[in-house]
Amino acid sequence: MINVRKSFFSLFGLYLTFSNTECCFDDGCYLPKPNITLKAINDKQTLVVSWLVKHSSFVGDIYEIELSRTEQLTVIYTKNVSVSPGVSAEYTWTWISDLPLECVDHSVRMRYYNQSDQSPWSNWITNSGFKANDEIHIFPSSRVLRQGSSAMFCCIPPTGVNVKRMTFRNKEYRLLSIGGGVKAITVNNLTIPKGIIKHLLLTCDDATGNSVHVSNYISFPPQKPRNVGCVTFDMVSVSCTWDSPRKRLLHDRNVQIYTLHIENSDKSPFTCEQSSCTFPAVPHLQNYNISVWVKDKLGEEMERYSFNISDRVFPVVKSLSVNRGVTEATVSWSMQESLTHVNLICQVATVPLGTVELRCNNIMSSFCDTKLEHLVPNTKYNVRVRCTVNGRLWGEWAEETFITDPLVSLDLWRRIQPLSNSRTRQVTLMWKPCIAGTAATINIQEYTVQWSQEGQTESKNSSVGQAVVSIGPGKCDFTVQAVLPSGTSIPANITIPPAEHKENLPVQKRLDSTSEGGFNLAWDDQSTATCGYVVEWCMLGNAVPCTPQWKVPEGNNALLLHASKFRAGHRYTFYIYGCTDNGYRLLEIQTGYSQEFNSVQRPSLVEPVQSTSSSVTLEWHYNEDDPAQPAFIMGYLVTVQEVGSVWLPDRSNVSVADPHVKFVTIESLKENTEYTCSVSALTKEGPGLPANITFRTKINYSSLIIKVLTPIFLLMGFTVLLWSQVKM
């Protein structure tokens, strides 16, 4: 039994020995000559050697490869290649040349060993170089070379012509003899030109004076993509983006090709843009394993990235619209229909209101909406909407600007003028539009005026803020509305009381201005004024004609009017009305100046003056209540001065405190003396312009007679007395 086993193993060993086409003869065994193929890749300066491997033992074979240049087959490279044992297959070996393959012939041969023997050398397989016929040729030409690397350039002359010089970027390099008249140079550390022109010029000159120029380009190999990220906007397609660590120059000839592979699917690679790629989502695939490849003439790079598509949803808001109103608006938007089954959360940001957040998970529709409230009429708003799926990734903001509808009301007032010899009254309606907000100019097309009296209703249109209507003696209700492109304004109402409703005009009250020149009106609050008050005045004061102004006080019974609305030196009369069920009733009249001036009119003196030998009585005419006066008249100032002398002490000035008293008597004057008198109206700011008059006091004849007769009588008495003494 033992001998049988030995015989079996001996036969098995002989089988292994004579397998693989090995032949044995009487003089021994030998290995067959290898059969090889050779492929050249010129633009990569690469030779690829291929042969069929047939193992002759359980251990690997060793292949010896020789590589030669030129027709003389000068061996320049030797390599032993060890092939591990395994299934028979074709094997390839690659060699990269430092010299362009076009420069000279490159040949390859091979033999191999096993444990006990070696094969004969294979035949030389040659990749022929370029043969120049009539002119010089340079290699490489128009090729992209790697930045920072070293490169060899060769110059191939025609037969019998010598290469004299080779220059690279206008610099001459030392020539290297390759064989067959071919010369070469080596350039180290290739750099990218800084100018606009990115090619590098290479020149070869021969001994006959001929010169040839070629250009090559320097670039850098592909960069590994970084910051790879993917999103989906609709769960239907996926968009991926990435960055390149180094940006390529504008005229870089090293064209790059980007592709994206879904490694866990059978989809073909997708061709991409330089920094992005969009591809259809794979049905029912949640987790994606992708790789981004970038390839060019200098190599390739790759980056992998994995993601769950449900975590990368980037919802896009579309069809954003606003249905606006006066104080509210409805914001509506739609999403991709493919997102109706996911849990959407949306944010609505309104400037200047703020941001609200709401869920938008209507599985029956892709539309969402929300209402904005408490808006200001005729105001510009900016609304933005964005959404997210489960709060992971927020989509871009969708933005819309809108202006709320205008809110127009009318500030309505009236003036009533009874017509003479008739029971008809003329009502002048006046109104001012009050527009909330300032975002847009409101175009008021016209106004409609409607009034009702004794069951009859009439109407008319007006293009301005005023209308004149004739009504009867009864109570009349007026309604005025502005017609807008979007509708009508809020109705303004006012009631005209019956004509038999007589009012007792209140006494005018003088009103002091504020320190700033305005008016601070105040009046007693009336219980009958159930719907507020109105203050009326004329724009130019009491000057004619009157342009009516009115204002509804914000408080109950006070109103502050600023100085900017009034002119100094003009008297203003304010009529204060209280609103009752039967219309407005006049409550008070207040009059005053925002600022008083003393440039009032001169009094008109009555001539001739009434004088005696020791007094004078002056009279004058003056309209102290004239509304055209620039100040209130508080009295008069009378001055008396003797012509040609200084002022009289204590009696030079006489004041009249009552503006309605227009005469004064001045005593203790000298007889038969000429005096000058002046009369001026007094104001809070001082006396106004004076009116002057000159007069002479009369002669006091009684006093003169006494003065003459007194000496005569004394003389006569003295004479009588003397006469009596003589007789005695």
3-state secondary structure 517-564: CCEEEECCCCCCCCCCEEEEEECCCCCCCCCEEEECCCCCCEEEECHH
Residue where a domain terminates, one of 429, 464, 496: 496
Domain contains 11? yes
Residue 519 exposed, middle or buried by CB count within 10 Å (0-12, 13-18, 19+): buried
| Partners of 205 in beta bridges | 165, 211
Mean pLDDT of 67-81: 91
Helices (H), 561-657: none
Residue where a domain terminates, one of 368, 403, 438: 403
Range of lowest pLDDT (85-89, 92-96, 357-361, 374-378): 85-89
Domain contains 453? yes
**Residues 571 and 539 sit within 8 Å (Cβ to Cβ):** no
Residue 226, number of CB atoms within 10 A of its CB: 11
Mean pLDDT of 348-373: 80
**Residues 445 and 407 sit within 8 Å (Cβ to Cβ):** no
Look at residue 16 in the predicted model and tell me its pLDDT: 38
Q: Which residue has the tokens 């102004």?
A: 549
Mean pLDDT of 333-347: 78
Domain contains 144? yes
**Residue 423, H or E segment:** none
Domain contains 598? no
- pLDDT greater than 60 at residue 28: no
Residues 104 and 15 in one domain: yes
628-643 pLDDT tens trace: 899 999 999 999 988 8
Residue 297 vs residue 650, higher pLDDT: 297
Domain contains 547? yes
**Residues 566 and 537 sit within 8 Å (Cβ to Cβ):** no
Residues 335 and 383 in one domain: yes
Separation of alpha carbons 371 and 348, rounded Å: 10
**Side-chain half-sphere exposure of 236, counting CA atoms within 13 A:** 8
Report the domain count for the chain: 7
Look at residue 707 in the predicted model and tell me its pLDDT: 66
Separation of alpha carbons 222 and 245, rounded Å: 10
Measured distance between the N- and C-terminal CA atoms of the chain, rounded to whole angstroms = 233
Look at residue 217 in the predicted model and tell me its pLDDT: 92
- Measured CA angle at 141 (ends 140, 145), to 5 deg: 65
Average pLDDT, the chain: 86
Residue 707 vs residue 42, higher pLDDT: 42
Residues 467 and 527 in one domain: no
Determine the length of the chain.
728
Q: Which residue has the tokens 């001169």?
A: 602
Look at residue 56 in the predicted model and tell me its pLDDT: 54
Residue 349 vs residue 707, higher pLDDT: 349
Which one, of 132, 103, 216, 219, lies nearest residue 168 by Cα?
216
CATH number of the structural domain spanning residue 377: 2.60.40.10
Residue 157, helix vs strand vs coil: coil
Residue where a domain terminates, one of 127, 156, 174: 127
- pLDDT greater than 90 at residue 462: yes
Look at residue 107 in the predicted model and tell me its pLDDT: 96
Look at residue 501 in the predicted model and tell me its pLDDT: 60
Q: Which residue has the tokens 């970084």?
A: 226
Residues 267 and 327 in one domain: no
214-262 pLDDT tens trace: 999 999 999 999 999 999 988 889 999 999 888 887 778 889 999 999 9
Residues 179 and 252 in one domain: no
Residue 61 exposed, middle or buried by CB count within 10 Å (0-12, 13-18, 19+): buried
Residues 90 and 7 in one domain: yes
Separation of alpha carbons 393 and 372, rounded Å: 25
654-680 pLDDT tens trace: 899 999 999 999 888 888 889 999 999
- pLDDT greater than 90 at residue 357: no
Residue 658: partners with Cβ closer than 8 Å, 6 or more residues away:
635
Residues 352 and 394 in one domain: yes
Look at residue 4 in the predicted model and tell me its pLDDT: 41
Mean pLDDT of 543-564: 84
Helix (H), strand (E) counts: the chain? 2, 56
**Residue 727, H or E segment:** helix 701-727
- pLDDT greater than 50 at residue 12: no
Residues 355 and 325 in one domain: yes
Residues 33 and 115 in one domain: yes
Residues 111 and 18 in one domain: yes
Range of lowest pLDDT (141-150, 285-294, 538-547, 616-625): 538-547
Residue 312, helix vs strand vs coil: helix
Look at residue 93 in the predicted model and tell me its pLDDT: 94
**Residues 85 and 57 sit within 8 Å (Cβ to Cβ):** yes
Look at residue 172 in the predicted model and tell me its pLDDT: 95
The whole domain housing 517 covers 512-593
The whole-angstrom distance between residue 141's C-alpha and the CA centroid of its chain comes to: 54
Separation of alpha carbons 627 and 595, rounded Å: 14
Separation of alpha carbons 680 and 691, rounded Å: 6
Residue 723 exposed, middle or buried by CB count within 10 Å (0-12, 13-18, 19+): exposed
- pLDDT greater than 70 at residue 24: no
Look at residue 245 in the predicted model and tell me its pLDDT: 87
Mean pLDDT of 5-9: 39
Look at residue 87 in the predicted model and tell me its pLDDT: 54
Look at residue 476 in the predicted model and tell me its pLDDT: 93
Look at residue 92 in the predicted model and tell me its pLDDT: 92
**DSSP assignment letter at 128:** -
Residue 311 exposed, middle or buried by CB count within 10 Å (0-12, 13-18, 19+): middle
Domain contains 718? no
Residues 38 and 52 in one domain: yes
**Residue 401, H or E segment:** strand 398-403
Task: Retrieve residue 234's tokens.
Answer: 């609709």
Look at residue 336 in the predicted model and tell me its pLDDT: 77
Which one, of 528, 531, 526, 492, lies nearest residue 414 by Cα?
492
Beta strands in 648-704 (DSSP E): 653-656, 663-666, 674-683, 686-687, 691-696
- pLDDT greater than 60 at residue 328: yes
Domain contains 713? no
**Residue 419, H or E segment:** none
Domain contains 653? yes
Task: Retrieve residue 318's tokens.
Answer: 């579309």
Separation of alpha carbons 543 and 722, rounded Å: 86
Could you check whether the bond before residue 193 is cis, i.e. omega within 30 degrees of 0?
A: no
Look at residue 259 in the predicted model and tell me its pLDDT: 97
Residues 307 and 320 in one domain: no
Helices (H), 71-197: none
